[in-house]
Structure 1
């Protein structure tokens, strides 16, 4: 084993020597061809080593350049992909913008229609408010007292539209309710040119009956309001009806004059 190793080592040294000698001859020939002075073996070996170092450095530079080239190509590929995605995003955004613009136009149109409808409703409410105020002036005093707030809202055009509509609804509800019940009231009225303190019994909005001391009468609604007519012959019946209503008289059936008109 030792002999083999020794021979192998000797063979390696011989190969290195031959290669060095060959390179020396080549380098010396190249240099002498250019009229350069002949080099010693040591100088030739130094030049060969420098040349090998240079070749190794150039090889490393080439490898590094190829690596950088691959990296640049990969980076360019990434940029191209990003640009494609960006263009797709821009296209998609453009579609969304068009859809948003269309939706915005629909909203603007809806707002315009809503404002037109609101203005039309305001005009109708104005007309109906005036009409309702005229009718309310003919209401019996108890019903007018109940609707003071609504009357103020209907008469003030600066009141918000919603509040005026609610006031109209309240007037209608209160009027319907009043017309379905009997209402007692004490009022001061001028009857036959004399101001009198009256006890009044309203049968809804159809008719009213009053007594005042020894006098009595009937109240009927007209285009200008309630008309108070003296009918003393009905005093006892009207007084009994008021007593029954106030529970100061025992319950009984009372006949009162009622005239229905078309």
Structure 2
């Protein structure tokens, strides 16, 4: 059996001890390095995860910004449109205001003209014979006497009233009209007479016997009547002819021309 010397065994033992010690040191460094690597990998993974989350968040923010920008553009378009509408509305308002001003001026001119026509119509009515005044009494009541009476009356209505009076006066003036009226005789007694109106310019009256008779003409404040007994029989003839109680014939009667 071969035997190694003691010093050789000691060397082997020392060598073995040294080799074992170096292995432990290397393993510790490896573990430390692996731990660092694991930390680095974990950090990189965390960074990558954060980066992915940021990319998603950035995409979402970008989409939100895009939506907001579109909303802003739409609102701006609506504002521009509204400003345009407001501008057009202002222009239309100015145009309407100008038109209203012109209409007011025109209405003032028409109102002044109508007021003058109504005064003239009232003056004419005062000269109308009683039968004609009776015919237009309803229309006459609608013609304003004072400015305060104009409230609620349109220009068209006022014009219609004037035209209605003039039309009725024209019809009356184009015909002969018979009426029964009461006149005072020279003694101051009321006498019933028949009055024959030749339009609105001349009238003759007589009682049934022709003893009370006379003529009438228009005046500023109504008709003026004059008694003339000498005309009684002539006027009576005219009335009888009008009523077809006697044949037609020429009867001379006075006519007052104004």
State TM-score, norm by structure 1.
0.69
Contact 1:180 1:204 in 2 (8 A): yes
Q: Alpha-carbon deviation of 1:140?
A: 0.2
Larger Rg: 2
Deviations 1:143-183 (A, max 9, x none): 11222233333324333343443322221111111111222
Which structure ranks higher in relative contact order (CA pairs < 8 Å, sequence separation ≥ 6)?
A: 2
Q: Give the whole-Å Cα distance in 2 for the aligned partners of 1:250 and 1:36.
A: 164
C-alpha RMSD of the superposition: 3.5
1:223-234 alignment to 2 at 5 Å? 223-234=220-231
Q: Give the whole-Å Cα distance in 1 for the aligned partners of 2:128 and 2:185.
A: 18
Contact 1:179 1:204 in 2 (8 A): yes
Partner of 1:235: 232
Partner of 1:166: 160
Q: Give the whole-Å Cα distance in 1 for the aligned partners of 2:101 and 2:120.
A: 29
Moved more, 192-201 or 53-62: 53-62
Aligned residue-pair number: 226
1:72/1:216 Cα in 2 relative to 1: closer, same or farther (>3 Å)? same
Q: Give the whole-Å Cα distance in 1 for the aligned partners of 2:172 and 2:110.
A: 28
**What secondary structure is seen at the aligned counterpart in 2 of 1:158?**
helix
1:255 corresponds to 2:251? yes
Partner of 2:95: 106
1:139/1:251 Cα in 2 relative to 1: closer, same or farther (>3 Å)? same
1:207/1:191 Cα in 2 relative to 1: closer, same or farther (>3 Å)? farther
Partner of 2:169: 175
The structure 2 residue matched to 1:208, chosen from 203, 216, 219, is: 203
The structure 1 residue matched to 2:52, chosen from 34, 39, 63, is: 63
1:1-262 alignment to 2 at 5 Å? 39=31, 55-56=44-45, 58-154=47-143, 155-160=145-150, 161-162=153-154, 163-190=157-184, 192=186, 194=188, 195-212=190-207, 213=209, 214-246=211-243, 249=245, 252-253=248-249, 255=251, 257=253, 259=255, 261=257
Q: Give the whole-Å Cα distance in 2 for the aligned partners of 1:86 and 1:240.
A: 96
Runs of 4 or more, structure 1, over 6 Å off, are 46-51
1:215/1:260 Cα in 2 relative to 1: closer, same or farther (>3 Å)? closer
Structure 2 residue ranges without an equivalent (≥5):
1-24
Q: Give the whole-Å Cα distance in 1 for the aligned partners of 2:146 and 2:121.
A: 13
1:253/1:56 Cα in 2 relative to 1: closer, same or farther (>3 Å)? farther
